[in-house]
Amino acid sequence: MSGHRSVEIIVRGRVQGVGYRAWTKGVAEARGLSGSVRNRRDGSVEARLAGPAEAVAAMIEACRQGPPGARVEDVAVAERPDDSGAPGVQILPTA
């Protein structure tokens, strides 16, 4: 095992309009992760993140709280192939 992990995180609750994407970008980059984050039309936020396994695990736990103003009701995590590409976390258009 290389110690590298790539996941898709879907966060549901009051997570749009509270700065969740910008918060995710900042916290994930501070942990050395790369990937993307976007709002989804169903009201959830989707983050696809990759990096050191321990940093990804810590980010998943952080997503359970989110930024001030968020009310996280559910966090679903799925392992996925790493397609993060460039370093850093990109905020993508709503999908």
5, 12, 14, 21: which is the annotated catalytic residue? 21
31, 38, 39, 41: which is the annotated catalytic residue? 39
80 noted as active-site residue: no
21 noted as active-site residue: yes
Cβ-contact 38, 95 below 8 angstroms: yes
Closest CA to 15 of 54, 58, 72: 72
Give the DSSP H or E segment for 4.
Answer: strand 4-14
Which residues are identified as catalytic?
21, 39
